[in-house]
Amino acid sequence: MEQYQLNAEVETLKKQRNAIILAHNYQIEEIQNIADFTGDSFALAQKAAEVEEPVIIFCGVHFMAESAKILAPEKTVILPVKEAGCPLADMVDAEGVRKMKKEYPNAAVVAYVNTSASVKAEVDICCTSSNAVQVVESLPNQQIIFLPDKNLGQYIASQTDKEIIIWEGYCITHHRVSVEELDKVRAANPGALVAVHPECQPEIVAKADYVGGTSGIARFARETKAKTIIIGTEMGMLHPLRKENPDKAFYLLSPHLICPDMKKINLIRVLESLKNMEPRIEVPEGIARRAKKSLERMLEIK
Ligand code: 13P
Residues 143, 160: Cα–Cα separation, whole Å: 11
Separation of CA 213 and ligand 1 centre (Å):
6
- Residue among 65, 63, 83, 86 nearest 21 (CA): 65
Separation of CA 222 and ligand 1 centre (Å):
19
Q: Is 67 in the pocket of ligand 1 (CB under 6 A)?
A: no
| Beta bridge partner(s), residue 298 | none
pLDDT tens digits for range 248-291: 999 999 999 999 999 999 999 999 999 999 999 999 999 999 99
**Gyration radius of the chain's alpha carbons:** 19
pLDDT tens digits for range 34-93: 999 999 999 999 999 999 999 999 999 999 999 999 999 999 999 999 999 999 999 999
User: Ligand 1 pocket test: which of 149, 199, 210, 238 has the largest number of ligand atoms within 8 Å of its C-beta?
Assistant: 199
What is the Cβ-side half-sphere exposure of residue 14, based on CA atoms within 13 angstroms? Answer: 20
Please report the pLDDT score of residue 108 as a whole number.
98
pLDDT tens digits for range 13-22: 999 999 999 9
Please report the pLDDT score of residue 59 as a whole number.
98
pLDDT tens digits for range 90-130: 999 999 999 999 999 999 999 999 999 999 999 999 999 99
Please report the pLDDT score of residue 275 as a whole number.
98
Residues 183, 292: Cα–Cα separation, whole Å: 42
Percent of the chain with pLDDT strictly greater than 90: 99
What is the average per-residue pLDDT within 24-43?
A: 97
Q: Is 114 in the pocket of ligand 1 (CB under 6 A)?
A: yes
Separation of CA 225 and ligand 1 centre (Å):
25
Separation of CA 79 and ligand 1 centre (Å):
17
User: Atom of ligand 1 at shortest distance to CA of 171?
Assistant: 10
- Residue among 126, 128, 170 nearest 151 (CA): 170
With bands split at pLDDT 50, 70 and 90, how would you rate the model's confidence at 243?
A: very high
Residues 97, 115: Cα–Cα separation, whole Å: 11
Please report the domains of the chain, with CATH numbers, ordered by start residue.
Answer: 3-85+262-282 (3.40.50.10800), 89-171+290-300 (3.40.50.10800), 177-252 (3.40.50.10800)
| Beta bridge partner(s), residue 24 | 39
User: Ligand 1 pocket test: which of 46, 62, 214, 302 has the largest number of ligand atoms within 8 Å of its C-beta?
Assistant: 214
Residues 145, 143: Cα–Cα separation, whole Å: 7
pLDDT tens digits for range 200-236: 999 999 999 999 999 999 999 999 999 999 999 999 9
Please report the pLDDT score of residue 1 as a whole number.
82
Q: For atom 8 of ligand 1, which residue has the closest CA?
A: 114
Please report the pLDDT score of residue 4 as a whole number.
93
Non-local (6+) Cβ contacts of 158 within 8 A are 202
Please report the pLDDT score of residue 302 as a whole number.
60
Please report the pLDDT score of residue 186 as a whole number.
96
User: Atom of ligand 1 at shortest distance to CA of 197?
Assistant: 3
- Residue among 111, 97, 107, 98 nearest 141 (CA): 107
| Beta bridge partner(s), residue 287 | none
Separation of CA 1 and ligand 1 centre (Å):
32
Separation of CA 16 and ligand 1 centre (Å):
31
Residues 242, 48: Cα–Cα separation, whole Å: 26
Separation of CA 229 and ligand 1 centre (Å):
19
pTM for this entry: 0.96
